[in-house]
Amino acid sequence: MQLKNNQRLPELDWLRVILIFAVFIHHVCMPFNGDNWHIMNTESSKLLDDVMVYFEQFRLPTLFFISGVGAVILLSKISVKKFASDKLLRLLIPLIVGVLFVVPPQSYIENISQYESFWQAYPSLVLNLSTNHLWFIEYLIVFSLLAIPLNTFLNTKASTKVFKYIIKLTKFKGGLFLFVSLLIVIKISFSLFFPSDDNKIENLSSSSYYLFFFITGMIFVANKELWQRVCEHRLYHLIILLISTVIFYGYYYSPDLSDFLSLNVRWSIWWLVCCLVSWSALLTILGYAQFYLNKTPQWLRLSNELIYPFYIFHQTVIVVIGFYVINWQTSILIKIISLLFLSLITTCGICLFIIKPFNLFRFLFGLKLKGKTKLLLSNKT
């Protein structure tokens, strides 16, 4: 019942690009939502923050789900050894390069008043070894290595019992949504026992949450019938998402409940409503993407190729350009639009004219090599 090894899933190509672009827009808006980011505008928009907090719930979880799907597909095509070496090369090296050269300008801009120049500050900034927004890659390295034994289990007879149970759930129109109960238990339990706001891999309240989406991506793509159910039940998932959204904003805008509920209870309710939105949104997005986004145009192939270095560079570009934009004497809307276009043009320019043409930069930022260098390396291996 598995999907064919050579079967391409164009909906994943679309979603990967759309979601990374959504991350880009999110970071463009961060200086203006009053959330104490790397750079902040003097004015902020509460409405903008209220909208952004909603989309935060499912953007990255869906990306981790897609990464889990990709891990199973790749493991069906190549050996475990090749998979591990490929992931280490295409994830670990860009992470190291990013920490050494891409992240430091952000830290410099954030604390620019403390330094005489970037080059004077650079040694101390590098020694911080901050992953910053590249924590996503750090997670993927660990999750990809965990995917090897998990994928082995998914191909055993023991896993057939698990799939039979899940398929039974899908006989009910909202059956797949019941996965949210496990997500809620994971999120609340780990967040209460390991309270932390950072995104370090050792922070189990964060890593366990995203690992759930990665593993469910592996499970869903490992069974053709289960994958099809997501598309077939998309309308029901949309209805659940709309209901979850009402519950989400109902609690978000609720009056102060501190006189009636303890802090832990209030946070637990918040995590619960966030889980409702994140899981129902994922199912809805994936279902409608399967139905409508079933072709991969040429421009999308190029976008998919460059989306990885785009992600690596985008936030640094936004912070550097944004440092100057937020000082303009104009409205928040004009600043956001200007920052969006200036950052988009700059980041795309870096990817198209610096990373894409040269194999050295392709290697350093996780792209496949091209031409004679690729042929030479393949012959050696």
Helices (H), 222-353: 224-232, 234-252, 263-292, 298-325, 332-350
**What confidence score (pLDDT) does residue 147 get?**
97
- Alpha-carbon distance of 278 to 183, in angstroms, equals 10
pLDDT confidence of residue 221? 94
Residues 6+ apart with CB under 8 A from 321: 339, 342, 343, 346
Coil vs helix vs strand at 323: helix
**More confident site: 194 or 377:** 194
Which residue, among 127, 71, 43, 130, has the nearest Cα to 316 in the 3D structure? 130
pLDDT score of 7: 66
**Confidence grade of residue 375 (pLDDT, cut at 50, 70, 90):** very low
Separation of alpha carbons 276 and 269, rounded Å: 11
pLDDT band of residue 6 (cuts 50, 70, 90) is low
Please say whether the beta carbons of 2 and 222 come within 8 A. Answer: yes
Predicted structure pTM score = 0.94
pLDDT value of position 196 = 79
Nearest to 244 by CA among 57, 70, 28: 57
**pLDDT of 186:** 97
Q: Mean of the pLDDT values across residues 294-312?
A: 95
Quick one: pLDDT band at residue 161, thresholds 50, 70, 90? confident
Q: What is the pLDDT of residue 194?
A: 87
Look up residue 253 and give its two tokens.
């805008």
Q: With contact defined as beta carbons under 8 Å apart, do 22 and 32 qualify?
A: no
For residue 379, pLDDT over 60 is answered with: no
Indicate the SS3 state at residue 170. coil
- Categorize the per-residue pLDDT at 228 as very low, low, confident or very high, splitting at 50, 70 and 90: very high
- pLDDT 10s digits, 10-69: 999 999 999 999 999 999 999 999 988 999 999 999 999 999 999 999 999 999 999 999
103-113: burial string, b at 16+ Cβ within 10 Å, e else = bbbbbbbbeee
Q: Residue 342: is its pLDDT beyond 50? A: yes
**Per-residue pLDDT tens over the stretch 168-179:** 888 888 899 999
CA distance 238 to 365: 37
State the pLDDT at residue 355: 97
* Burial (0-12, 13-18, 19+ Cβ within 10 Å), 320: middle
In the DSSP assignment, the letter for residue 61 is: H
Q: What is the pLDDT of residue 199?
A: 83
What are the pLDDT digits (tens) for 62-121? 999 999 999 999 999 999 999 999 999 999 999 999 999 999 999 999 999 999 999 999
Instruction: List Cβ neighbours of 31 (8 Å cut-off, separation of 6 or more).
Output: 37, 39, 40, 41, 322, 326, 335, 339
Q: 14 is written with which tokens? A: 């679309």
